[in-house]
Every structure is written in structure tokens, then in C-alpha cells.
Chain A
């Protein structure tokens, strides 16, 4: 049977997420963007909502089973507040979820509880590399097996919280296949570069990373000596990003509606002009269509359906275009005011452009 209604448990979580997104994130977002800094107490409060904990089984100190769908619903709700803060709250996902989804039992037991039990700490991941046609399945960073260790060499960029990270999941090419390795952030040969300056998500701390003969024990390869598939991890990025994009778009869309219904033009409200009303109708339609696709992909992952990975990619593909269109149109509807930093839409538009670049920066 089809159904579009979340469970009661999901709804409770969503209500809490909504209160946090509207009450805490949104009022702090502009200042965070201007100062290029996320207030730690804001992130801690979001962490306490327990979204990741709810997707982590009790065996690893969480209190629920992994659900891509719940993750998608929560991510959408968070991003309605602000993207940078959402990414901040969700940063430990980048470390925990790949281990949960693809790690050995030993890795799960050792690595997950310290993250899950404690207050928010910087556990993160390094994937993206500084080249225009970066491809997560064709990495330049290389892992070489040497005895019972790996040596990792390469260059990473857009590594969240690298400067204060406890541990990082580092993706590297092993015999031509992308594999993840669990690395202590203070490992020798690992150098954190300058904080990076980007078009959007100013508040989210991103760093470059140099890896020179970083030596790690062979046991730290995700999934053990057999390694792991990237399919589920990639799908988890894709639906995570799609959900965040829907949240960002929803915020911009609602802001534009409110503005257009309030602002007078030629004796009527701006929203009473078809030129504007039609833009809003298309924005609303594409947001809803993308939301449903992200939900469906997440549901397919949870149910182990054939074609789930492809669907996740389609959802991401749709979201990248949708969020750019919607945030751009929101700025357009506000006209000159949209371009002014007094209103949040220009920030959302800058954030929206990033989704095609944010590969691996969010997981649910």
C-alpha cells in the first residue's frame, strides 16, 4: 500500500527537529554565515535531538535501527533552518554511518559507541579532491599495502572540521577501487591546511588536507581485508543531500511566498501577478516532486529494493537542479531586496549552488 504519512515516532522526531530548526538554527544562521563560525552550543543542541543515535542499534549504544527514510525526513527538517548548521550537526554521520553500513563487527563495536554516547565531537570524513571533475569512484589519493599497514598519499579538500577532528574516515583508491580507511587525525604525515573559503555555507568549517605516507594498520580498512562496496555509502550521500536540498528549497520558497503576499505593486500584491504566481507554482511543484523522489529512494534502501541505488542517484540529480532553480527564483521574486544580505534568500541561493559539489558531505 502506498502511504505518505510518517510513523508516530518519526513525527515526534520531526516535530522536535522543526522546533530546533525554526527556534534555534534560523535565528542564528545569518550571524554564523557572516562570522564564518557555527556556535558550538547550537550544534550540541541539535546533536541532542538524537537523529543519528536513533539510527544506531543498541549494540553500539544507539537506540534504534538504521533508517534511511527517518534520516531523510530529519535532514529535510534541519535544512529548513540552515544548511551550514545542519551539516554541522550531521558531521559525525560521515564517520559513523559508513562504519555502521559497511564496517566489520569489530570496527562497529570499537568506533561507534564513543561517538554516539558522548556530546558532539568532530568525527568527520575526507573524500573530495581539488579537481574540477572530481569523481568519488576515481580517486587520486592512493592507499598502498605495505606489510600489515597501508600508506595513504594524496590531497583532499572540503574536509569538515579537520582541524579539530578526533578521527577521520579517509577515502582512497586501493587497486583502482575506492575504499575508506579509519585514520587518527593526529597521524603522522597528515597535515591540515587553511580553513577554506567558499561561495556558501560560510559557517561550516572546511579544510584542505595533505596526506604524505600516512601509515595506518591494515585493520583500519573499512570492512576488513575484504574491503567494502561503495554503493550503499554513495546512495546514503545522495539521499542525504537530496533531503537537505529539499529543506533549503522549502525555506526559500516559503520566504518568497510571504514576501510576495506582503509587497504591493501596481495596486495589488506581487503574488497577484501571474508572472510571480507561476514561478511560485513551479517552485512548489518541483519541491514536492523532489521530496517524493528522495522519500522513495530512502524507502527503497530501507526495504532492500532492487534499483534503490539508482533511485538515490536520480533523487540527488533532481535535487541539484531543483534547489538551484528554487533558490534563484526566490531571490528573483524579492527583486533588489533578494540581493541584499538583510534577507536570507541570497544566502540560500549561495548554499543551493553547492549541492553538485557537496559529494559525500552529508549522510543519512
Chain B
């Protein structure tokens, strides 16, 4: 039966996370924006200890909880909601502050890759660190100076040293979100994409785990950004960086097929709607700001008027509200499908396309509609305008996601629709 009833555990999550967003994020939002690269340790420590109360904030499925659930016949009957819970959490944290949200400890994109392509042994070895005493971070290092969404252009290499049974990694990665927190500020790890065989193109690309303190892996640059300034975005150079053979995710041999590559790409089916969720949180913050300011001025939005009778302000506001909800619904559907193990590549990319576009539109419109209040740094609206834009860029630009949607719609392979 079709239902839009939010499950109770999700409502609880939302309520608890809202308190965190209001009390631990909003009050320091401006300060952290003005002091780029300052780390929100108070928030990090809190989130690390509160994870138990909040439920896992990790991109990686909670293996222990899964086992428990399998043993408990009552719980086993309940439909899975892990990704949906994560969506609610990420939306609300981003409503608090999208930059600080990206500093949330626990498994994020790196963990998502490990749990998508890793062996049980790898999952245990890499993911158990998140539940330790200290907060730990991870990161995904894919982009290179000459290779963004076109991952087949990746030039970083991984060569097996058969004598020592180690991979030797060489190359440069840029735009690594939380890379410094993963490697320097905590005993975390990054997942690096590199080629086993440059001649083989995409078929040769694999991902590798580099743990903190691995010699030959250095953070070389902190980017200064338009928004999400509380979150570090770094460059990483690997120079004869050796990792154990067991740190490869997926098959160590290059076959003709791009199966291994596709496995890695499947990570996006979960991470893209999560990025969408973050966009939705920022957009909602901006929309609510407009709503509050209008209410303060006694301006009422009339729903149900014919368009000929709507004011421009009403039309714009209702448009924003409508599109926000549409994007939200696509996102929850994508993650509901992920939870229920349905193939969701198309809706996942749709949600990312729509949410990225909508969040950008809403925050830009909000600044416009609020005039001098919108443009002023006295309020957070101008910051949200800057923060929102990243969601139409990282984890695949809006255009790349359109391409994914189009290929799915048309049943085309990459070679048929470039």
C-alpha cells in the first residue's frame, strides 16, 4: 500500500538531530564560516559520543546491528530504514550547517565504498575504527587535476610489488573532502582510486584504502572555497606510497570487463541521494528564513489562488516550496529503494539532479527576495546561498547526473551516450 507515513524511529531521529542542529551548529555557523579551516571539535566530540543515542550516522551499514536484527525475529520483520534514517539525519544536520555536517565523524564516503566493494575481512578491519574511543574520519579521493567526473582519465597508478606483496601508489588527488581530518586529525583512512593498468582504461581502475600515518601519502594543499568552509577540502600526493595487498577493494586482476569499475560506481546509488538530502536541508533553511521574515512583516502567502491573482512573491515562494517537496520525495524514494535492495540508479540520480538544482535555485531566489537582508552577512542566508551550490557539483555535477538519468531512461551504455 502506498504510504507517505514517516516511520516513528525517523521522527525520533529528526527531533533529536534538530536539537543538535539548533544548539551546536547554528550558534557557531557564522564564526566557522569566517574562520575557514577551523575545526568544530565541540560538535565532533558530541556527535562521536552521541552516535549511540542518535543511531548510526555512518554511510556504512551497521554490521553489529544487522546481526542483532537477524537474530531477533520481531525486528527482522520490520522493513529496513537505515538509508532513510541517514537521509533524515543529513537533511537536518545540513539545515543546521552544511559545512559542519561534513565534519561529522564516522564512516562517510570512504566507508560507503568499503561496504559496497569490500570483503567481510576488509569491512571489519577498516570500519571498526569508527566505534572506538576517539572520533575518526574517512574520505574518498577520486578527482585528479585532469580528471573529474571522467574517472577513466585517472592517472594515479597502483603497481604490485610482488616481493613484499604491497601496492605502490603514485599520483595526485584533489578536492578530497575531509581528507585532512581522515589522515592527519584522526586515525582514519581514505579510499583512493588508481589504475592497475593505464592502457586498460576504466577496466583497470580500482580503489585502495590508505590508512592514516602511511608513509608516502601527504596532504599538500587546503582549498579556499565559496562555501562549506568548515569542511576541509585538500590535495593529497602519493609518492611511492605502499599499502598492504589486502587494501585493494575488489579484484586485483584486470579483466576485459568493467565489472569492478561498475561495482565501485554502484556506491553512488546510495551516496547521491544522501548528497541530495544535504542540499534539501540547506534549501529548507533558506525557505524557512524567508517564511519567518515575511511573517514578521505581516506578509501572508495565499495558497490556492489562481495564478492571475498571485503576487510575484507568492508565486516565487510557492514555486520554491513545491520544488523542495518534489526533490524531497524523489530522495526518500531513492533511499527507500536502497533500503529495500531495489535497483535505484535512475531515481538516485534524479534525486541528485533535482535537489542540486532546487537547492541552488531556492537559495539564490531567497537572497533575491530578501533584498538587503538576503545579501547581508548579518544573517546566514548569503552563507546558505554559497553552501548550497556545492551540492550541484560534488558527487557528480548536475550534468553528469543528467547523463546517468538519460542513459537509464534510454537504456544506453556509456559508449552510446557519451
Which A positions have Cβ atoms within 8 angstroms of B?
A: 1-7, 10, 69, 132-137, 234, 257, 260-261, 271-272, 274, 277-278, 280-282, 284-286, 288-290, 292-293, 295-296, 299-300, 303, 309-311, 313-314, 317-318, 320, 356, 359
* With contact pairs A277-B406, A314-B321, A318-B322 given, residues A6 and B304 touching in the complex (Cβ less than 8 Å): no
* With contact pairs A69-B2, A261-B410 given, residues A277 and B318 touching in the complex (Cβ less than 8 Å): no
* With contact pairs A2-B84, A137-B304, A289-B330 given, residues A296 and B353 touching in the complex (Cβ less than 8 Å): no
Q: Contacting B1 at CB < 8 Å: which of A5, A281, A289?
A: A5
* With contact pairs A257-B410, A285-B405 given, residues A3 and B3 touching in the complex (Cβ less than 8 Å): yes
Q: Is B370 an interface residue (CB 8 A)?
A: no
Q: Contacting B79 at CB < 8 Å: which of A1, A10, A281?
A: A1
B325 touching A4 by the CB < 8 A rule?
Answer: no
Q: Which of A10, A136, A281, A295 has the most CB of B within 10 A?
A: A281
User: Which are the 8 A-B pairs with shortest beta-carbon distances?
Assistant: A289-B326, A277-B406, A292-B329, A281-B405, A133-B308, A281-B406, A285-B350, A281-B402
* With contact pairs A2-B7, A299-B3 given, residues A289 and B354 touching in the complex (Cβ less than 8 Å): yes
Q: Is B64 an interface residue (CB 8 A)?
A: no
- Please report whether the interface of chain A is mostly helix, strand, loop or mixed according to DSSP: helix
Cα distance A293–B84 when bound, in Å?
Answer: 18
A285 touching B304 by the CB < 8 A rule?
Answer: no
Q: Contacting B353 at CB < 8 Å: which of A234, A285, A292, A320?
A: A285
B405 touching A133 by the CB < 8 A rule?
Answer: no
Q: Contacting B6 at CB < 8 Å: which of A2, A303, A317, A356?
A: A2
B304 touching A299 by the CB < 8 A rule?
Answer: no
Q: Is B52 an interface residue (CB 8 A)?
A: no
Q: Contacting B3 at CB < 8 Å: which of A2, A133, A234, A288?
A: A2
- How many chain-B residues does the 8 Å CB contact rule pick out? 47
Which residues on the B side are within 8 Å of A356 (C-beta)?
306-307
Which residues on the B side are within 8 Å of A137 (C-beta)?
304
Interface residues of B in 284-332 (CB under 8 A from A): 303-309, 318-319, 321-323, 325-327, 329-330, 332
Which residues on the B side are within 8 Å of A6 (C-beta)?
1-2
Cα distance A132–B326 when bound, in Å?
Answer: 29
B329 touching A296 by the CB < 8 A rule?
Answer: yes
A293 touching B325 by the CB < 8 A rule?
Answer: yes
A4 touching B2 by the CB < 8 A rule?
Answer: yes
Q: How far is the CB of B328 from chain A (nearest CB, A)?
A: 9
B309 touching A284 by the CB < 8 A rule?
Answer: no
Which residues on the B side are within 8 Å of A320 (C-beta)?
307
A280 touching B410 by the CB < 8 A rule?
Answer: yes
Cα distance A2–B81 when bound, in Å?
Answer: 9
Which residues on the A side are within 8 Å of B3 (C-beta)?
1-3, 299
Some 7 contacts from A to B, beta carbons below 8 A apart, are: A260-B410, A272-B416, A274-B403, A274-B417, A278-B406, A284-B405, A311-B325
